[in-house]
Structure 1
Amino acid sequence: MGRSGGPPCGAPGTCPSRAAPGPWRLRHSGPIDSNASDLMPTSTPIPAQARFPVSGMSCQACAASVEGLLRSVEGIRDAEVSFGSRSAAVTLEGEGPDESRVRSVLAKAGYGLPEGAFGGRAVAADVAYSEREEARAQRANLAAVGVAAGSGLALLAAHMLAAPAWLGPVVAAPAVFIAGRGILTSGWKAARRRAPDMNTLVGLGALTAWTAGAFGVVAPAVFGAAGGHVHAAVMILAFVLFGRWLEGRARARASDAVRALLDLAPPTARILVRGEETIVPLADVRVGQLVLVRPGERIPVDGAVMDGRTSVDESMLTGESAPAERGPGDRVHAGTMNGLGALAIQATGIGADSALGRITEAVHRAQGSRAPVQRLADRVSAVFVPIVLAIAVASFVAWLVFTGDLQAAIAHGVSALVIACPCALGLATPTAVMVGTGRGASEGILVRGAAALERLAGVDTFAFDKTGTLTAGRPELASVELTADGPAGGDGDEDALLARVAAVERSSEQPLAHGIVQAAKARGLTVPAATDFEADPGSGVRARVLHRSMWVGSPRAAGERGHPPRAIEALIGPIARRGETPVLVEEDGRLVAALGLYDAPRPGSLEALAALRELGLATLVLSGDHESAVRRLARELGIDDARARQLPEEKGEVLRALRSSGRRVAMVGDGINDAPALTAADVGIAMGGGADVALEAADCALLTDDLARLPVLVRLARRTMRTIRQNLAWAFLYNIIGLPFAAGVFEPGLGLSIRPSWAAAAMAASSVCVVLNSLRLRWVRLV
């Protein structure tokens, strides 16, 4: 029968998918039966695209600059750079770019990329490169902080000892020209490209303060005392560099979900070679080899258990806390923890080709994605630095013209330069997305990207497929109704008929068909052979059994075959009143029986739907099943609305109609017939036991069949968007309030202003606050 209770007994592929390509794919190799879910999301490489880390970025303006540089290279059609994840995704054209040319263009601007960036690098290689570059930058920042702090202490000592004024600029020089070298160089390069960034602002502010101090040595009456200016220059760089170091540490924690996934796989595996155990690097293991796993070890590869029994802790992949029992024929996955038994596993997936590798790739891609809500921050960041430069110049000129105080004019101009923080704007969205998607992965939930999270946070209606989603997908035969004259040939007893129907359904892979076959086995019936099997999508299945022409299908399909509606209704009436799913049987052109099947609700579905209602969400079930069965399920689970006898394309039309009426809809499904509905919804969510095409159409995937993950997913999306809004509000308010104070707008009337050193401290703190606020998503309660 149809996966969603739709046209019964159809063969696989009953509905041509309109699914758009996506990153989720069901991968199953070998004829192994498994109690474990074979569904593991796989990242399908998008043609003509490349993704790679970029080093050297220090603010959102840098990301915009890298985007422009990449787009200027022949062979790159488009580029999207994430400052939060320090990565770039480029769309290629033709044969793609010359990598050395791209490297040269970026290097001239102070940025770097790894070798083989356009050659389909593995996630592990990208993460290792990013970690090396981040560690190098952190060491450089810490060393620079040490130099600046040393200059600051030397200045303090000089002041206490009443040293000569000329000593101040000399002592401050190492802080400005050694500790601040990277900032000055990057800022100058950005200015030369007419794309000034945060380094330009900070470098100009520090250099202006130091220069004023140097001139103050020879003309203190005009420029003021040298000590105040050079102290400001040193403190600006010290605070900014220390803030970057803190930000780097916090940001590393925001992006550690991918590293945590990579660390699940052991670096070596124990294989059997000519009867002897040998430990080899994981990269040397080949598909088909026998891998041995001892008690308490992590399983290194995906594979089928050939020998041994054990319990496996899969919580790190699926979020499911209960250990899963595994024995011969069952599947196990890389990164899961073996229990007390020893296993011999035939490897089917290794490294990037394992379930763990594909999950890691999916999370890595999601963390580098850009949410639509970030567009406002991007637009502001594009003009932010030039506006700040204009404000600083205006502040300097206004103070000089109206007060004639050059020292105050310099101080306010420098404060305006260094207090502005485009970094907070640039980090507001990506850091929250990185932490949110990482938290989702730890909960057994994969999200395609930031846009899916944003749409899900605004959903007000959840639509569900029935069979295999709200139900366990294992219908059982509940009743058999024979017609008055019964089957032809005098062979009309129930068991004989059931055996013949099972012969037809044995070649079908649909859940209702499986329930009929299992019922025949449970009764110990001998199932005859069937010939000329044919599945007609939307019309059921037919075959020849014991010289009879048999057809099995839904009441709707029976009506389309010409059987009188009154006869159909009379036959299925008792089944419908019990809320069972009717399946009609035709022999040699005559309706001879109706079978009633019942698919019980999935364990935990009642509680999951109640939790969704508590979140203010309306619920709807869309099914191709008979109306009585759908209504019964809706009553049992407390679902708000139920639509029965829906063909796959009709489900999509229902969802489009809901969306056109202003509803925001998420669709949850797992089967082939669900793909059109998944693509028609605002957000498509695929269940862990679903079919390949359903996952291809989905925006999110649950790694298990546990519906309790759904309210967790909704809370995660809402919390992530709330955090993004908080970050953006903080970033905008900080700059809107801080800039006037730094420029001295409130000093004449209220006596309120910010000194350059404190302006730099505030700027550094603003970025750190955004990252720390995003990190709260790691610990927020979602259940």
Structure 2
Amino acid sequence: MAEYQFIIEGMSCASCVSRVEKALNKIDGVVDATVNLATEKALVQSSHDINIDILLKAIDDSGYHAIAIPSIDKDEQQIILSIGDMSCASCVNRVEKALSRVSGVKTAQVNLATEKATVIGAHLNIAALIRAVEDAGYKAAFFDDKKMQIIKPRQPSLWPVIIAVLLSLPLMLPMLLEPFGLHWMLPAWTQLILATPVQFILGARFYRSAWKAVKAFAGNMDLLVAIGTTAAYGLSLYQLVLHWHSAHMPHLYFESSAVIITLILFGKWLEARAKHQTTQAIEALSALRPNTARVWREGKELTLPVEQVNIDDIVIIKPSERIPVDGVIVEGISSSDESMITGESLPVSKDIGDIVTGGAINGEGLLRVKVTAVQAESMLAKIIHMVESAQAKKAPIQRVVDRISAIFVPIILLIAFMTLLAWGIFSHDWQQALLNAVAVLVIACPCALGLATPTSIMVGTGAAARHGILIKDAQALETMHSIKAVAFDKTGTLTIGKPELVVFETQAEIDEHKLLAIAASMQLGSEHPLASAVLNKANTLNLQYSYAQNLVNVAGSGITAAVNNHCYILGSARWLISLNADFSKWQKSISKLQDKGYTLSWLAEKTDNSIKILALLGFSDTVKEQAKPAIEALHSLGVKTVMLTGDSESAANTVAQSLAIDEVVAQVLPQDKADKIYQMQKSYGKVAMVGDGVNDAPALAAADIGIAMGTGTDVAMHTAEVTLMRGNPLLIADAIDISRKTYSKIKQNLFWAFFYNLIGVPLAAFGLLNPIIAGAAMALSSVSVVTNSLLLRRWKPKG
């Protein structure tokens, strides 16, 4: 029995309830639909899984709007909300506090740059979360991260800025003309008429946001702007009324209030425009998925929306078309341009049995593809989700900034008040005192503090993803910059991972082909690279073999199995030695092959009394051409390199010496790799582990940063913090490089954000800063922070 819950908006009476229930109960598979008018919730029970969009459409067609509540059958769930009306880091703190107070919430993280909140907890109620955000003075809406949609930072209209400039420019003209000896001023009433719409119509957003902050007993950037500009406007209005009939009107400050609002509106427009560019990596990925697919059903070719394509459907892809789904080629030969997904610039050849990825571009051939994954389970959707997740979460350094931001606005208000009192009491010029206090209020910029870290993270992870480096979260990005050593698995990481059986030597009376067939029978069904090499050799020789019986896999050692009622062992020399096997007759062959760096395996027959070695298997795996440049690149970054492999010492040393790897740890069992990582951490500091197999998962988890090859297994990719979409080891150094550059940008941004405030606020307090200049500096501070982050978009990998 499946259950679905919805929040339904717009119901007003019992007839509304009846209408919704009737619409839902008509859907095939729905057993019962119950709607509660008081809680505005619907509970739908069905005999089988139903597409959530069908249920939502039924509610919409009945005249109401519905929001799906994520299933709560898990102990922990994640809900993402889009948040509106935030202006600075103080807003972020307030929304996080509001969400954290809701029942069931474990953690709540808000990102000012993406305008999203990520809430993690148990038995979460979306309506309660949205209500908490709204009570704090902000807008909120549920964001379904299972669908491939994006929340783009809102780009405000330029028209309010243009109108504000047109109204403020005449007020600024006297100040602009004064350096040229021209002393001219608009009539006082004209100044009032020009400044008022800027202050109260175009600047209304600041008052609305400030009022919400006051109601929540908190502060934000808009509160500072509202107080500062109102003080300048109010002082001018006071002077105007006081000197109504005076022949000489004193200087008014309408231009200060109007120009400050104009500059901040323009700064906000520039900031939003720049923030929009930080999401372009995700937008580019999302744009890869076609909306329709050609599906072969019941002997006909149908063009269907991608959402209606099912697993095991046959999809037809014509030359030069974008591939709509993940699948396996069942007919046709072509090539695939996967550059936007993996960063691989050259087309990849595709044949029957090869995997294709949705979003890639088909080359010159017509393909028929059997669908293996759709929608949220597709590789493209997982990549987008991983990038979004990395951009939504906070880096550890951001938590320090958050603590500062929480007390920033109250401190600025206190400094402004003290500035007003000090100047008024000691200079007796309360007019100047007020202007200096206004300058303090408008120079302060909590917005720059709030944007310093998330914009760098967004651009850094986006740039990395564009080149095939997927970083799981912001913490991984920050941690990676301080990696001191990298541990490599050998097979599939430094080598191609497709070993060939190049030596099959026997010293027994049994026919060589018969022994190879026995080895193939034992390896049938295994996904180990050495097993594939044995099977490929047997198939090349057209040998007959079938599944062995009583097969037992001994992790990191080998296998035992029964073939034709005989018990055989296929595995490492170390394991066979522990079983008292005799290798004395094989020493010459062992020395010769080990000198060549071959990986050796042994086939033996087990009897009641002894173990007899029947054959030696020698495997050769080609070292990747990028492996040596990758090691050199890591050394140039000051990173130590270690090979951590289960292979023999001789084979490992041969590869390590050819690549100039610093340290080799060979003959390591999978379960012991994690312990070796812990030892490395004590010796070197922070350690990254690179692997591609199931046996690497414990070591990937134990390392400070796990790096998985995208050409490897799903287990490795899920365990790792970083996934390289190509099997190119040069990307490892690139991942560390983008991490270091991103962390450097974060530090630069935080320096500038603090510099603006630490220098600007004292200058304003001591009367050395005109309020208009203070407003311009404040408006441009956040723009400069975002623009500095956008420089990361120029980063290019070496791999």
If the length of structure 2 is used for normalisation, what is the TM-score? Answer: 0.85
Q: Which amino acid aligns with 2:735?
A: L
Q: CA RMSD in A?
A: 2.4
1:576 corresponds in structure 2 to 594
1:83 corresponds in structure 2 to 112
Q: Which moved more, 1:672-681 or 1:101-110?
A: 101-110
The answer to whether residue 645 in structure 2 is matched with residue 627 in structure 1 is no
1:528–1:79 distance in 2 versus 1, CA, 3 Å:
closer
Q: Deviations over 1:551-583 (max 9, x none)?
A: 111112112223368678677444333322221
2:162 corresponds, among 146, 159, 164, to 146
Q: Which moved more, 1:240-249 or 1:376-385?
A: 376-385
SS at match of 2:324: coil
2:566 corresponds in structure 1 to 548
1:546–1:288 distance in 2 versus 1, CA, 3 Å:
closer
1:732 corresponds in structure 2 to 754
1:123–1:245 distance in 2 versus 1, CA, 3 Å:
farther
1:201 corresponds in structure 2 to 224
Deviation at 1:466, TM superposition (A): 0.8
Q: Deviations over 1:515-551 (max 9, x none)?
A: 2232333344444663332223344211222342211
Unaligned 5+ runs, structure 1: 1-44, 748-752
Which whole-Å CA distance do the structure 2 matches of 1:579 and 1:275 have between them? Answer: 54
Which whole-Å CA distance do the structure 1 matches of 2:105 and 2:749 have between them? Answer: 32
Please say if residues 445 and 781 of structure 2, whose CA atoms lie closer than 8 Å, have aligned partners that are also in contact. yes
The answer to whether residue 687 in structure 2 is matched with residue 687 in structure 1 is no
2:131 corresponds in structure 1 to 104
1:439 corresponds in structure 2 to 463
1:339–1:480 distance in 2 versus 1, CA, 3 Å:
closer
Deviation at 1:782, TM superposition (A): 3.2
Q: Kindly tell me the number of residue pairs found equivalent between the two proteins.
A: 712
Please say if residues 500 and 545 of structure 1, whose CA atoms lie closer than 8 Å, have aligned partners that are also in contact. yes
Q: Which amino acid aligns with 1:451?
A: Q
Please say if residues 212 and 226 of structure 1, whose CA atoms lie closer than 8 Å, have aligned partners that are also in contact. no
Please say if residues 214 and 226 of structure 1, whose CA atoms lie closer than 8 Å, have aligned partners that are also in contact. no
1:57 corresponds, among 86, 106, 110, to 86
Deviation at 1:162, TM superposition (A): 5.3
Deviation at 1:605, TM superposition (A): 1.3
Deviation at 1:46, TM superposition (A): 9.3
1:158–1:660 distance in 2 versus 1, CA, 3 Å:
closer
1:168 corresponds in structure 2 to 191
Q: Deviations over 1:597-638 (max 9, x none)?
A: 222212321222222222222111001111110001101111
Please say if residues 123 and 361 of structure 1, whose CA atoms lie closer than 8 Å, have aligned partners that are also in contact. no
Q: Which amino acid aligns with 1:579?
A: G
Q: Deviations over 1:304-353 (max 9, x none)?
A: 22333222111010101111122333221211112222223333323322
Q: Which amino acid aligns with 2:769?
A: I
The answer to whether residue 263 in structure 2 is matched with residue 234 in structure 1 is no
Deviation at 1:225, TM superposition (A): 6.1
Deviation at 1:431, TM superposition (A): 0.2
1:602–1:782 distance in 2 versus 1, CA, 3 Å:
closer
Higher relative contact order structure (alpha carbons within 8 Å, sequence separation ≥ 6):
1
1:330–1:509 distance in 2 versus 1, CA, 3 Å:
closer
1:75–1:534 distance in 2 versus 1, CA, 3 Å:
closer
1:496 corresponds in structure 2 to 514
Please say if residues 147 and 174 of structure 1, whose CA atoms lie closer than 8 Å, have aligned partners that are also in contact. no
1:134 corresponds in structure 2 to 154
How do residues 310-349 of structure 1 correspond to structure 2 at under 5 angstroms?
310-349=334-373
Please say if residues 213 and 226 of structure 1, whose CA atoms lie closer than 8 Å, have aligned partners that are also in contact. no
Which whole-Å CA distance do the structure 2 matches of 1:403 and 1:662 have between them? Answer: 61
Which whole-Å CA distance do the structure 2 matches of 1:105 and 1:508 have between them? Answer: 54
Please say if residues 313 and 371 of structure 2, whose CA atoms lie closer than 8 Å, have aligned partners that are also in contact. yes
SS at match of 2:493: helix
Please say if residues 530 and 544 of structure 1, whose CA atoms lie closer than 8 Å, have aligned partners that are also in contact. yes
Q: Which moved more, 1:420-429 or 1:659-668?
A: 659-668
Q: Which amino acid aligns with 2:138?
A: Y
Q: Which moved more, 1:256-265 or 1:540-549?
A: 540-549
Q: Which amino acid aligns with 2:527?
A: E
Q: Which moved more, 1:288-297 or 1:260-269?
A: 288-297
1:619–1:253 distance in 2 versus 1, CA, 3 Å:
same
Q: Deviations over 1:661-690 (max 9, x none)?
A: 342211100011111111111110000121
2:633 corresponds in structure 1 to 611
Deviation at 1:701, TM superposition (A): 0.1
How do residues 307-706 of structure 1 correspond to structure 2 at under 5 angstroms?
307-482=331-506, 486-487=507-508, 490-491=509-510, 493-527=511-545, 530-563=548-581, 572-588=590-606, 589-706=611-728
Which whole-Å CA distance do the structure 2 matches of 1:657 and 1:400 have between them? Answer: 66
SS at match of 1:731: helix
Q: Deviations over 1:152-196 (max 9, x none)?
A: 145358999855424433431111111111111111211232210
Deviation at 1:215, TM superposition (A): 0.5
Which whole-Å CA distance do the structure 1 matches of 2:439 and 2:735 have between them? Answer: 44
Q: Deviations over 1:193-240 (max 9, x none)?
A: 22101011111101111111111113359x996654211000111011
1:569–1:386 distance in 2 versus 1, CA, 3 Å:
farther
2:778 corresponds in structure 1 to 763
SS at match of 1:639: coil
Please say if residues 488 and 691 of structure 2, whose CA atoms lie closer than 8 Å, have aligned partners that are also in contact. yes
Please say if residues 528 and 546 of structure 1, whose CA atoms lie closer than 8 Å, have aligned partners that are also in contact. no
Please say if residues 158 and 168 of structure 1, whose CA atoms lie closer than 8 Å, have aligned partners that are also in contact. no
Please say if residues 507 and 533 of structure 1, whose CA atoms lie closer than 8 Å, have aligned partners that are also in contact. no
SS at match of 1:373: helix
Please say if residues 461 and 664 of structure 1, whose CA atoms lie closer than 8 Å, have aligned partners that are also in contact. yes
Deviation at 1:721, TM superposition (A): 0.8
Q: Which amino acid aligns with 1:169?
A: L
SS at match of 1:134: coil
1:564–1:162 distance in 2 versus 1, CA, 3 Å:
closer
SS at match of 1:348: strand
Q: Which moved more, 1:628-637 or 1:74-83?
A: 74-83
Which whole-Å CA distance do the structure 2 matches of 1:730 and 1:46 have between them? Answer: 42
Q: Which amino acid aligns with 2:161?
A: V
Which whole-Å CA distance do the structure 2 matches of 1:525 and 1:257 have between them? Answer: 51
2:140 corresponds in structure 1 to 113
1:465–1:121 distance in 2 versus 1, CA, 3 Å:
closer
Which whole-Å CA distance do the structure 2 matches of 1:377 and 1:414 have between them? Answer: 25
Unaligned 5+ runs, structure 2: 1-73, 176-182
SS at match of 1:389: helix
Please say if residues 731 and 797 of structure 2, whose CA atoms lie closer than 8 Å, have aligned partners that are also in contact. no
Q: Which amino acid aligns with 1:180?
A: G
Which whole-Å CA distance do the structure 2 matches of 1:50 and 1:542 have between them? Answer: 48
The answer to whether residue 211 in structure 2 is matched with residue 184 in structure 1 is no
Deviation at 1:151, TM superposition (A): 2.7
Which whole-Å CA distance do the structure 2 matches of 1:281 and 1:123 have between them? Answer: 14
Please say if residues 239 and 252 of structure 2, whose CA atoms lie closer than 8 Å, have aligned partners that are also in contact. no
Q: Which amino acid aligns with 1:536?
A: V
Please say if residues 524 and 547 of structure 2, whose CA atoms lie closer than 8 Å, have aligned partners that are also in contact. no
Please say if residues 677 and 703 of structure 2, whose CA atoms lie closer than 8 Å, have aligned partners that are also in contact. yes
1:567–1:454 distance in 2 versus 1, CA, 3 Å:
farther
Please say if residues 571 and 593 of structure 1, whose CA atoms lie closer than 8 Å, have aligned partners that are also in contact. no
Percent identical: 38
More strand by share: 2
Please say if residues 165 and 226 of structure 1, whose CA atoms lie closer than 8 Å, have aligned partners that are also in contact. no
If the length of structure 1 is used for normalisation, what is the TM-score? Answer: 0.86
1:585–1:347 distance in 2 versus 1, CA, 3 Å:
closer
Which whole-Å CA distance do the structure 2 matches of 1:498 and 1:344 have between them? Answer: 36
